[in-house]
Structure 1
Amino acid sequence: MYFDNAEGPVFRPPSEAHSFILRVTVGCSHNACTYCNMYKSVQFRTRPMNEIMDQIHAAKPYAMHIRRIFLADGNALVLATDKLLAILDALARTFPRLQRVACYAGPRDMLNKTPAELEALKAAGLKLVYYGLESGDDVVLSRVNKGVTAAEAIEAGQRIVAAGIKLSVMIIAGLGGKEHSARHAANTARAANAIRPQMLSALTLMLYRGSELLEQFESGRFVPLPPAEIMEELYELVSGIDLPPAEHCLFRSNHISNHIALAATLPKDKDRLLADIAAARKELADVTDWDPYNNVE
């Protein structure tokens, strides 16, 4: 549900399917990652408060049905804290049954907020942040132009967790290609151990039209992993995740990009998850005509 006719496409996480999508920015302020084409068609801009309030007023007739709100577009946390607090206050006053406000955030957005600012946002109703970590490896992060080092990427996630905001971390299996698969798996596992998110989602690399990574593939500069090797990489990654026994991290690999849907709670289900990944690897071993574009339209 959204009430907006601003330029550009609208994206949201799968778990926000029934949320009111409130577009507080247009596009992504970084918009330079080589694997992504989501916001290539629009120029990033923040929305003035009158445009934001127009959307809120349009949704007001549905107030008794709105329990979740997602702040779009690509990294709403880039907004100044005072502006975000004003938006959260307006949402709390307009939607009496509101249970959760969530948003995407880039690592720089989180690093640019002080602990006190993040705690204030949490108190005002920001309950969940979706964070595309993608990799915990310096070489891979540099090659995909993520804009941060691994240490910075980890610190960004730790800041959200420390503020008491739930963190959903996304990683991309296959992002390092054949050349960097082993280091991508090992160092992404280390990053997950350091951040300790409440949710961890593993997507599979898709070569999107209009992305720089697709151009690298077509010119022979990037060699993607076939399905069975994606599972091998994921096996090594999950093997390296070592969370405290009392932790409850929901692991999901059920995005449209994934070859096999997987679900577990870590660390409790780690052995079972590894067995499921091993079975998937065996099932996919005979796939020889896989589509390197991974069914992208």
Structure 2
Amino acid sequence: MTEYEYNYPLYRPPSEAYSLIIQATLGCSQNKCTFCSMYKGKKFTIKPLEQIKEEIDFFRKHIRKVQRIFIADGDALIIPMKILKEIFLYINERFPEAERISIYGSPKSILLKSDEELKELHNLGLKLVYLGVESGSDKVLSYVKKGADRREIIEAGKKIKKAGISLSVTAIAGLGGKENSNEHALLTADFVSHINPDYFGILSLMIEEGTELYNEYHQGKFKPLSNVEILEEIKLIIENTNVIEKCIFRSNHASNYVPLRGVLPDDKENIIEAINYAVKNNRMKKDSLRAL
């Protein structure tokens, strides 16, 4: 292989900005969520193992040192264990200096792996799984066609933690619209409290053209929250999130109106104060308000 080009669009978590991305799958195995346009133009495909190895060889030839590796696309954890294990073994062989391998995981892909398989992946270098929770409300999850219910998502989150793998979960403020805002916030907070993930991020809903939710919005079936209501919903989530172990919180994605950060539970009041200040002074997107 003399040259290589990713299959676009290519997505990765913000914290993987400096990671080597190995695109082992194309698209998302679920790809039915009504709010998401990320992989709508891609048919989900698991690349042949030999092709993945060739691409890993290409990166080894051109990159001197790699600290972190992210396996893409969406939900690459769905790859059957026999093949996924071979990918990890080859990464370890070719990039022995890598300190961390991370991956997107859906509730389905996590639950398809046994406890022993997840522990084996952890021993092979899988240190972090990103899980899109979206909401803790079954009503909202069903409405947006998440493909998993609250019980399954809680089970999946606990399974990752049990395997010794760090867990990063994200929820979407505003996903329940005006009708389900309160339930969405309270049950999302309850979910996070149950799981106590290592990282918790909140995005703000962006209604994107080409999605089912976009059509429902223009048909008047979905009533979105205002900027202030989004912030009030985030505040309600934070107020009702009660974790025992430290959880790094971030709400500083490009979709967010006010960048927020802190460590729960220690910085809960600081985060709430930052939100109150932003609402009172209408400082959204003007200042980079931080809880720390």
TM-score bin (small chain) = over 0.9
Confirm or deny that 1:257 pairs with 2:255.
Answer: yes
Aligned-residue offset at 1:78: 0.2
Confirm or deny that 1:164 pairs with 2:164.
Answer: yes
Q: 1:167 is paired with a residue of what secondary structure?
A: strand
Count how many residue pairs are aligned between Structure 1 and Structure 2.
283
Instruction: Show the counterpart of 1:210.
Output: 210
Counterpart Cα distance in 2 of 1:19 and 1:235: 32
Q: Which amino acid aligns with 1:125?
A: G
Confirm or deny that 1:93 pairs with 2:113.
Answer: no
Instruction: Show the counterpart of 1:271.
Output: 269
Counterpart Cα distance in 1 of 2:96 and 2:186: 45
Q: How does 1:1-297 map to 2 (within 5 A)?
A: 4-5=4-5, 7-244=7-244, 247-284=245-282
Counterpart Cα distance in 2 of 1:81 and 1:125: 14
Counterpart Cα distance in 1 of 2:128 and 2:83: 18
Alpha carbons of structure 1 residues 101 and 286: separation in structure 2 relative to 1, 3 Å: closer
Counterpart Cα distance in 2 of 1:59 and 1:191: 39
Aligned-residue offset at 1:82: 1.6
Q: Deviations over 1:76-123 (max 9, x none)?
A: 100011211111111111113100000111110011111111111101
Counterpart Cα distance in 2 of 1:127 and 1:84: 15
Bigger drift between 47-56 and 176-185 goes to 47-56
Aligned-residue offset at 1:7: 4.1
Counterpart Cα distance in 2 of 1:117 and 1:102: 15
Counterpart Cα distance in 2 of 1:49 and 1:213: 36
Q: 2:169 is paired with a residue of what secondary structure?
A: strand
Q: Does the 8 Å CA contact 1:130/1:169 hold for their aligned counterparts?
A: yes
Aligned-residue offset at 1:184: 0.2
Counterpart Cα distance in 2 of 1:4 and 1:189: 43
Counterpart Cα distance in 2 of 1:167 and 1:204: 20
Runs of at least 5 residues in structure 2 that lack an aligned partner in the other structure = 286-292
Q: Does the 8 Å CA contact 1:135/1:188 hold for their aligned counterparts?
A: yes
Q: TM-score, normalised by structure 2?
A: 0.94
Q: Does the 8 Å CA contact 2:130/2:167 hold for their aligned counterparts?
A: yes
Alpha carbons of structure 1 residues 286 and 107: separation in structure 2 relative to 1, 3 Å: closer
Counterpart Cα distance in 2 of 1:140 and 1:220: 17
Counterpart Cα distance in 1 of 2:9 and 2:50: 20
Bigger drift between 177-186 and 48-57 goes to 48-57
Q: Which amino acid aligns with 1:126?
A: L
Aligned-residue offset at 1:205: 0.2
Counterpart Cα distance in 2 of 1:4 and 1:171: 34
Aligned-residue offset at 1:6: 5.7
Aligned-residue offset at 1:157: 0.9
Counterpart Cα distance in 2 of 1:218 and 1:129: 35
Q: 1:182 is paired with a residue of what secondary structure?
A: helix
Counterpart Cα distance in 1 of 2:29 and 2:227: 32
Q: Which amino acid aligns with 1:260?
A: V
Q: Deviations over 1:102-157 (max 9, x none)?
A: 01111100111111111111011111001100100000000000011111111111
Q: 2:221 is paired with a residue of what secondary structure?
A: coil
Counterpart Cα distance in 2 of 1:282 and 1:83: 53
Q: Which amino acid aligns with 2:81?
A: T
Runs of at least 5 residues in structure 1 that lack an aligned partner in the other structure = 288-297
RMSD over equivalenced CA pairs, Å? 1.5
Aligned-residue offset at 1:266: 0.4
Q: 1:64 is paired with a residue of what secondary structure?
A: coil
Q: Deviations over 1:244-287 (max 9, x none)?
A: 1xx11000001000000000000011111111121122233999
Bigger drift between 3-12 and 143-152 goes to 3-12
Alpha carbons of structure 1 residues 95 and 7: separation in structure 2 relative to 1, 3 Å: closer
Aligned-residue offset at 1:62: 4.1
Q: 2:64 is paired with a residue of what secondary structure?
A: helix
Q: Which amino acid aligns with 1:31?
A: N
Q: 2:167 is paired with a residue of what secondary structure?
A: strand
Q: 1:65 is paired with a residue of what secondary structure?
A: coil
Counterpart Cα distance in 1 of 2:283 and 2:216: 26
Counterpart Cα distance in 2 of 1:259 and 1:24: 33
Aligned-residue offset at 1:173: 0.4
